[in-house]
Amino acid sequence: MKIWIGIIFLFVVFFAQFATAKYISGEIRIDENGFATFNVKTDVEIQADGLEFKNEGATGRTDSFTEKSGSIWTFSLKEGNYDDIFLDIKLPIATQKITSIQGNRYLFDTEENVLTLIDSGELDFEVSYIVRERTNYNFIYYLIGILLLTLVF
C-alpha cells in the first residue's frame, strides 16, 4: 500500500508542473492621448509594440489597444483565455462620459474612473468613452504680453 501511495505522489508531483493556470493581473492606465501604460503580471506574453515581457510581466506604453472615431475613444483588450483575470483599467482623468462597456465582468469606481475586471475565461473587453477637450488659453498670455509692451512703450 505504501508503494502505491509513493507512486501516486510521484505521479502527481511530476505532472503538476505541466498543469498551469493562465492568469493576468495588474494595472493598465490610459491617458488622454490614447496611450495605455501596462504594469501587469501574466504568464502569457502580450504582443504589442511598446510592451516588454519579462519575469512573467508585461510593462510598457502602447497605443495598440486604443482607437479614436470622432470624439469617442475605444480601448479594446482581446487576449485569449485565462483562468484568472484581475485587471484595473484606469481611464483618463478627463473622461467626461462612458458611451459603452462590453465583455468581461467588471466593477466600476465612478470617483476614480477605474474599471476592475474580475473574471475567468476569454479576455474580451471593450470600453468606449469621451474625454473632455482641454481649452487652450495661451492666447490670453500673448494678449497680456502685447498689452504690457504697449503700456511700457
For every residue of 1-26, DSSP letters joined together read: -HHHHHHHHHHHHHHHTT----EEEE
pTM value is 0.74
pLDDT digits (tens, 9 = 90+) for 28-43: 999 999 999 999 999 8
Confidence of residue 151 (pLDDT cuts 50, 70, 90): confident
pLDDT digits (tens, 9 = 90+) for 3-18: 655 455 444 444 444 4
**Beta carbons of 39 and 26 less than 8 angstroms apart:** yes
Percent of the chain at pLDDT above 90? 61
